[in-house]
Structure 1
Amino acid sequence: MMFNDEKEMLEFYKRYAYVVGFPVRKRNSKKGDDGVMRYVTFTCSREGRRNYATGGSLKPQPTSQTDCKARISASLDNLGVWRINKVYLDHNHKTSPSQSRLYRCNRILSASVKRKLQVNDMAGIPLHKSYNSAVVEAGGYENTTFVERDCRNYVDQERRLRLGEGDAIALQAYSSKMQARCSGFFFSMDLDGESRLKNVFWEDNRCRQAYKEFGDVVTFDTTYITNKYDMPFAPFVGVNHHGQNTLLGCGLLSNEETGTFVGLFRTWLECMHGEAPRGIITNQDRAMQNAIEIIFSKTKHRWCLWHIMKKLPEKFGYLSQKSSNFAAIHGLVYDSDIVDEFEEGWRSMLDTYDLHDNDWLSRLYENRNRWVPCYLKTTFWAGMSTTQRSKSMNAFFDGYMHSKTSLKQFVEQYERGLRSKVEKEFQADFRSFSQMVPCATAFQMEKQFQAVYTIPKFKEVQQEFIGKVYCDIVSENTNDHFWTTYDVREHVVYQEHRKKKTFHVSLQRESCELICSCRQFEFRGIICRHAIAILIRNDITTMPDRYILKRWMRDVSRAHTRVAVNYDGLMSTPEQLRYDDMCRAFSEVADLAANDDGWTRSIMDWIKSQASDLRMSISSI
């Protein structure tokens, strides 16, 4: 191929790369004796390999370099024409056309966008509004040539919600519109005897599908808005495979009484096809607790630890020894690994500070299995112990409201807020797809996690491999049931304070089953440094599959990512569009066959056969 100039050739290669799905850059160039550029090479941006100091870094940064060899080289002939003389098209990594817009080489702020950002900033308009305006003007995220980070978007403003006249009718129209667009959209409204709006609950199909993946543990909180909004905003929040907040439903409430929460929880459970979460985190609100016992009777309920600990100055500020009392309670709560240790320490604290008659402490002790970590750490909580995720979700949506926002406008702004949340997850998927964090150790087990986990979760695992250097195995004891118990002493460093702490790790060598007294894996789903030390001690080089959770993997096909969110301007990937086309086709077939038992059986048999064939084909890839 031939081009008139270097720029034309680069633009052609960039267009090709955009369609294939990889980033490009100018690798090198060379001038002739006359000082004119005569040789140039453009490569995939994942070319090259980052060099690290001997021993590696304890906090290595993500890198996208994989030593990819894809490139084109060209030279300038005597007629002033650029001729491509070398082409290598094969990549040593995956490519993805749907993610091309996020690569740095394809992101650019146009002169008009830059000018608009400058003028709006001088006028005092928050940057996130300028960014949203540019996204709407472009027709959606997929049509923009920049991301929010490029505009350095950060805004934190106090907002309030006011119920406006006629909002109940507007909400009914909104729900009808959304249900017509998407059969999976769920909406519920409660009216009082005078047909005035009391409570609202809604959830789009994407959140319902996300619940299947991340609905094992949810946080629920309304206190952030109680004194600011006429109707408290009540989100159900989970944590996704990147450790980000993910919305699993929300409501607007007329009050915070038991009956109101019962109605909300029952509606939410109905929306989730009767599948209750395994764990829920709330504050100490008695009305919430009553409603949870009624609706989620089999769900493990814990109180927000942060809410409890922040009350210490209020409850014990009168004590002359308040500092030492605070330290004693903190030590009991955070350092007690077993129940007996906490019980003994609690009795000692009551005696030392003469607190036997303190009603607040007595009530806390009666409910210790709802908040003290050593009572809860054998249950999976995805690493959560507070309702801060609900609060941050409230704060997130707060950035899209103001004091004069009507309820109708609230729902519209909620859509924009959720669009942004979905985009952040998509960008996090992109980072885990296109980059990797180098291993900090030479252990094969760390490479196992590097190959499958998202970047944030791999970093958590990596810290455990790094933390192994602080662990010493001080004793070993084998019992009659083929279990060997090790005492692992860790040099714990916290805020410049150092201490030695002993953990007990039991290993069943034959099955490679591990139980550590810290219970980090059970609580967070992340293997602990003490268990890693024992595996290495026993020359076990491969991490057992049970300790690599699908929940934190990056290359898992998740149902919610295939649901095209029906908000105006939101991107729909080719996979999402194909998914929607198939759903519509299946729905038409179901409508035709449902009235005849024979046709129904025939169609179902065919679907089962196709599903079986597809599963076999996918597993063989």
Structure 2
Amino acid sequence: MGFQLHFDIDTEPENDCEWKPKQGMTFESEQCAYDFYNTYGGRMRFSIRRDYCRKDKFTNQLICRLLVCNKEGFRKVDKRDPLSKNPRAETRTGCEARLYIKLDEGTGKFVVTDFKEKHNHDLVSPKCAHMLSSQRKISTTQAMQLDLAAQSGLRLGQSFELMGREAGGRQYNEEQITNMFWADAQMIMDYAQFGDVVTFDTTDKLNKEHRPFASFVGFNHHRETIIFGAALLYDETDESFVWLFENFLEVRSRKAPKTLFIDQDAGMAKAIPIVMPDTSHQLCT
């Protein structure tokens, strides 16, 4: 079982520029440089990823690392694409925004030797910055706690309550934990075979937490109902549905369904063209 957590991120730039990368800036480790650039990306509203690196062939020590915008480069041609019924949409734009760090052998620190700030694409809106892939990571400790809670038989509502208390108590619950999505290995395999047509629906806050419960449902070759994924949402706004559909596609190699049946919810209707522009969405009675 996998969970995605959202913690609010301050995206308002401060008056000073301490949060902005500069040539000559030093970091204790490659991870520190990544965390700094990722925080900068969160403020500026773009996602980052690790790209090229070089290591010492004798000690295997990292010598340099290139961190890039996640829209850097272009996707390589896949020989299977002509045979694909629903090929993945191109998401890269050849963006050249980057941060390059190199190890200073004298100090043992990593130094910024190149920083390109400009992007060749629109940045996401402030309301959607937390949905960026590099901003949705959880710590190893949090992941272990979630797995332990599931293995201990805690119900979803109890896990929700537990994480809320750890975030600062019930009074901070609504400010810290918003949406949760999960799908197991069987759901992912079923979707790969039977995911061309999907029905998506939410309950009317019938659980104890009064949160919308969402499910992705389909049929197998025996016309049996199968589940592709489920989520506990904070609300039914278009922002929440954008977050959910992005996570749904992320665990399925960005393969979107051909047809998605939904109810008449306005938030769903707004989110689908944003995340799945090639998917036909129909009303289900």
Matched, 1:3 2:35: no
Report the TM-score when normalising by structure 1: 0.27
Contact 1:43 1:71 in 2 (8 A): yes
Counterpart in 2 of 1:40?
65
**Residue aligned with 1:60, SS:** coil
For residues 261-300 of structure 1, give each alpha carbon's deviation from its aligned partner in whole angstroms, at most 9, with x where no partner exists: xxxxxxxxxxxxxxxxxxxxxxxxxxxxxxxxxxxxxxxx
Task: Measure how far apart 1:110 and its partner are.
Answer: 3.8
Q: Give the Cα separation in 2 of the matches to 1:151 and 1:110.
A: 19
Q: Give the Cα separation in 2 of the matches to 1:37 and 1:111.
A: 22
Contact 1:70 1:90 in 2 (8 A): yes
**Residue aligned with 1:38, SS:** strand
Counterpart in 2 of 1:102?
131
Contact 1:63 1:437 in 2 (8 A): no
Alignment-mate amino acid for residue 203 of structure 2? M
Counterpart in 1 of 2:176?
143
Task: Measure how far apart 1:136 and its partner are.
Answer: 5.9
Q: Give the Cα separation in 2 of the matches to 1:151 and 1:458.
A: 23
Match of 1:29 among 53, 60, 77: 53
TM alignment of 1:555-574, pairs within 5 A: none
Counterpart in 1 of 2:273?
453
Counterpart in 1 of 2:103?
76
Counterpart in 2 of 1:393?
203
Alignment-mate amino acid for residue 454 of structure 1? I
Distance 1:73 1:111, change over 3 A: closer
Q: Give the Cα separation in 2 of the matches to 1:244 and 1:457.
A: 17
Q: Give the Cα separation in 2 of the matches to 1:132 and 1:61.
A: 37
Alignment-mate amino acid for residue 458 of structure 1? D
Contact 1:40 1:74 in 2 (8 A): yes
Counterpart in 1 of 2:117?
89
TM alignment of 1:273-292, pairs within 5 A: none
Contact 1:21 1:98 in 2 (8 A): no
Distance 1:11 1:109, change over 3 A: closer
Please, what is the CA RMSD of the aligned residues?
Answer: 4.0
Contact 2:242 2:275 in 1 (8 A): no
Q: Give the Cα separation in 2 of the matches to 1:150 and 1:104.
A: 16
**Residue aligned with 1:149, SS:** strand
For residues 475-516 of structure 1, give each alpha carbon's deviation from its aligned partner in whole angstroms, at most 9, with x where no partner exists: xxxxxxxxxxxxxxxxxxxxxxxxxxxxxxxxxxxxxxxxxx
Match of 2:43 among 19, 39, 43: 19
Contact 1:120 1:127 in 2 (8 A): no
Task: Measure how far apart 1:48 and its partner are.
Answer: 2.8
Match of 1:55 among 82, 85, 89: 82
**Residue aligned with 1:55, SS:** helix
**Residue aligned with 1:429, SS:** helix
In structure 1, stretches of 5+ residues that fail to align are 153-242, 246-388, 402-412, 441-451, 462-523, 526-621
More strand by share: 2
For residues 235-263 of structure 1, give each alpha carbon's deviation from its aligned partner in whole angstroms, at most 9, with x where no partner exists: xxxxxxxx998xxxxxxxxxxxxxxxxxx
Give the percent of matched residue pairs that are identical in Structure 1 and Structure 2. Answer: 19
In structure 2, stretches of 5+ residues that fail to align are 1-24, 185-197, 214-231, 259-271
Task: Measure how far apart 1:95 and its partner are.
Answer: 2.0
Task: Measure how far apart 1:92 and its partner are.
Answer: 2.5
Q: Give the Cα separation in 2 of the matches to 1:48 and 1:150.
A: 30
Q: Give the Cα separation in 2 of the matches to 1:121 and 1:422.
A: 24
Task: Measure how far apart 1:11 and its partner are.
Answer: 1.6
Contact 2:101 2:113 in 1 (8 A): yes
Task: Measure how far apart 1:147 and its partner are.
Answer: 5.1
TM alignment of 1:543-582, pairs within 5 A: none
Distance 1:118 1:74, change over 3 A: closer
Alignment-mate amino acid for residue 393 of structure 1? T
Task: Measure how far apart 1:14 and its partner are.
Answer: 1.2
**Residue aligned with 2:279, SS:** helix
Distance 1:77 1:423, change over 3 A: farther
Q: Give the Cα separation in 1 of the matches to 2:111 and 2:180.
A: 38
Q: Give the Cα separation in 2 of the matches to 1:123 and 1:7.
A: 32
User: Deviation above 4 Å: which 4+ runs of structure 1?
Assistant: 434-438
For residues 128-155 of structure 1, give each alpha carbon's deviation from its aligned partner in whole angstroms, at most 9, with x where no partner exists: 43135424653346535x9522686xxx
TM alignment of 1:480-519, pairs within 5 A: none
Distance 1:110 1:5, change over 3 A: closer
Match of 2:233 among 396, 420, 428: 420
Contact 2:180 2:233 in 1 (8 A): no
Instruction: Count residues in correspondence.
Output: 199
**Residue aligned with 1:454, SS:** helix
Counterpart in 2 of 1:218?
none
Report the TM-score when normalising by structure 2: 0.54
More helix by share: 1
Contact 2:212 2:236 in 1 (8 A): no
TM alignment of 1:81-230, pairs within 5 A: 81-96=109-124, 97-110=126-139, 113-135=142-164, 137-138=166-167, 139-140=172-173, 143-144=176-177, 148-149=180-181
Larger Rg: 1
Task: Measure how far apart 1:91 and its partner are.
Answer: 1.8
Task: Measure how far apart 1:39 and its partner are.
Answer: 1.6
**Residue aligned with 1:108, SS:** coil
Q: Give the Cα separation in 1 of the matches to 2:121 and 2:161.
A: 33
Task: Measure how far apart 1:420 and its partner are.
Answer: 1.8
For residues 512-554 of structure 1, give each alpha carbon's deviation from its aligned partner in whole angstroms, at most 9, with x where no partner exists: xxxxxxxxxxxx69xxxxxxxxxxxxxxxxxxxxxxxxxxxxx
Q: Give the Cα separation in 2 of the matches to 1:135 and 1:102.
A: 20
Task: Measure how far apart 1:417 and its partner are.
Answer: 3.6
For residues 11-34 of structure 1, give each alpha carbon's deviation from its aligned partner in whole angstroms, at most 9, with x where no partner exists: 211111111111111101112465
